[in-house]
Amino acid sequence: MTRGMAKELIGFGIRVNAVAPGTILTPFHERYSTDEQIKGMVATIPQGRAGTAQDCVGAYLFLSSDLLSGYITGQVIEVNGGQLMP
């Protein structure tokens, strides 16, 4: 979807990128995930911890800056502590 929209909108000067957060501790996990489930997820993360909302901020700031990412479009930045490395 990100790449398709990027192709469609680039002619209007609109860049489309996405941030794909991994396991981020949010009220969702507080409500729906057990401690055992969270420990299981964290065990698959090379950085050894779940992320926080603050861990995603840098990616959003980077992508919102024409100075830093003005020539980037159609990309997905994964913020997941290395969980999905190839």
Q: State the pLDDT at residue 69.
A: 98
Cα(16)–Cα(34) distance, integer angstroms: 35
Integer CA distances (angstroms), 20 to 36, 53, 60, in order: 24, 12, 11
Domain boundaries of the chain, sorted by first residue: 2-79
Q: State the pLDDT at residue 12.
A: 98
Q: State the pLDDT at residue 23.
A: 95
**E-strand stretches of the chain:** 18-21, 76-79
Q: State the pLDDT at residue 85.
A: 85
Q: State the pLDDT at residue 86.
A: 74
Query: Which amino acid makes up residue 68?
Result: L
Domain 2-79 falls under CATH 3.40.640.10: no
For the chain (86 residues), the mean pLDDT of every run of 10, in chain order, is: 98 98 94 96 97 97 98 98 90
